[in-house]
Amino acid sequence: MRTTPALWREARRWRAAGRTARLWWRDDDASAPSAALDRLLKAAQQTRIPLTLAVVPSGDMPGLAARLRHVSGVCVVQHGVDHQNRRTGDAAGEFPGDWTQAQLQSALLQGWGRLQRLPNILAVFTPPWNDVHPRLEAALRSLGYDGWSAHGGLGDQGGGADLARADVHLDLLRWRGGARFRGRARLLDSLAAEMRRRREAGLWDAPIGLLTHHLVHDEAAWRFLGAFQHWSLGQRELTWFGLPEVIGEACEADDQLRSAGVTRSKK
Ligand SMILES: [Zn+2]
C-alpha cells in the first residue's frame, strides 16, 4: 500500500524515537449475523488483528451469540441500549438531555442484560453517534462498568482508574451524503495527525482507534481495510492491541458479572 508524505515523515520520527503507536479496532452496529459480519470476521481472522465488536443490544442476540461462539480474537462491548435517537435537534443521541442519572442507569442495565448470551463480553459501553450525555460517565461508574469508548479523546488507559476510556479516532467512512469510504490519503493523513498529536504531547502510548461499520462498507472501504491492515503488520512503528489490553481488563466477563448485572468486585 502506498503511504502519504505526512505519514512517512511522522513514522520516521517515531522510528527515530524508538516508539510504536498502539492501534486498536472497533466495529459498530452489529446486532445480528449477516453476510457483512461474516466478511468482517474473515478480515479479522486473516490478519489476526484483535477486533472489538460494539453490539447494539436489540436484534438477534441468540443468532449473534451462535455466530461468535467459536470465533477467536473478537470481544464484544455494549453499543448503546437500542440505537434509537431520542433527541430533538441536530445531534443524535439515545438519552434526552434532561434524563437523570437514574434513568440512564436503568436503560443501560436493560441493554446490558440483553447482551448476556454473547461470548467474550467486556463491561465497556460505547454510545451511538459517540454522544456523551453529561451524566453518562457517572452512570457507568456507579454501575461498575470497566470502561467506555467514544470519539477523539486521548483517553485514560486504565492503570488504576476505575472507568478506563479508549476512544476511536480514524473513521473508515465519511457520512455526509451517504456512507462511503473516506479515502486512502485522508485516512493515512489522519493517522499521521493522531501520531503527531501523541508525539507532541509526550503521550506515545495513548491508543489510536480505528472505527469501522461493517453493515455499510462499500467495496472501496473493504479493500482499503484489508490493504491497510496487512500493510500495518509490516510497519515497525505500528502495533495492534485488543481492547482488553488497551483498557487493562480481561476479555471475559466472570460469572458474577453475567448473572448479577454489571456491578462486581474489582480485581
Ligand atoms: Zn452505531
- Give residue 37 CA to ligand 1 midpoint distance, Å: 15
**For residue 75, is it within any domain?**
yes
- Give residue 52 CA to ligand 1 midpoint distance, Å: 13
Q: How many CB atoms lie under 10 A from the CB of residue 146?
A: 25
Cell of 205: 502510548
19-51 pLDDT, tens digit each: 999 999 999 999 999 999 999 999 999 999 999
**3-state DSSP call for residue 147?**
strand
Distance CA 79, CA 27 (A): 10
- Nearest Cα to Cα of residue 35 among 83, 73, 67: 67
Does an H or E element contain 224, and which?
helix 219-233
**For residue 178, is it within any domain?**
yes
DSSP readout, 30-64? E-S--HHHHHHHHHHHHHT--EEEEE-SSS-HHHH
Beta strand 147-148 with 121-125: parallel, antiparallel or unpaired? parallel
- Classify burial at 231, counting beta carbons within 10 Å of its beta carbon; exposed 0-12, middle 13-18, buried 19 or more: middle
Residue 88: predicted pLDDT: 87
**For residue 221, is it within any domain?**
yes
Structural domain total, the chain: 1
- Give residue 162 CA to ligand 1 midpoint distance, Å: 25
- Which residues of the chain fall below pLDDT 50? 252-261, 263-267
- Give residue 128 CA to ligand 1 midpoint distance, Å: 4
Distance CA 183, CA 180 (A): 9
Tell me which amino acid residue 224 is: F
Q: What is the CA radius of gyration of the chain?
A: 18
**For residue 264, is it within any domain?**
no
**For residue 24, is it within any domain?**
yes
- Domain CATH number, residue 174: 3.20.20.370
**For residue 150, is it within any domain?**
yes
- Give residue 265 CA to ligand 1 midpoint distance, Å: 30
DSSP readout, 76-133? EEE--SS------SSS--SS-TT--HHHHHHHHHHHHHHTTTSSSEEEEE--GGG---
Q: Which domain holds residue 52?
A: 5-85+99-252
Residue 77 φ then ψ, to 5° = -125, 170
Taking the whole predicted model, whether its pTM rises above 0.75 is answered as yes
- Give residue 222 CA to ligand 1 midpoint distance, Å: 18
**For residue 258, is it within any domain?**
no
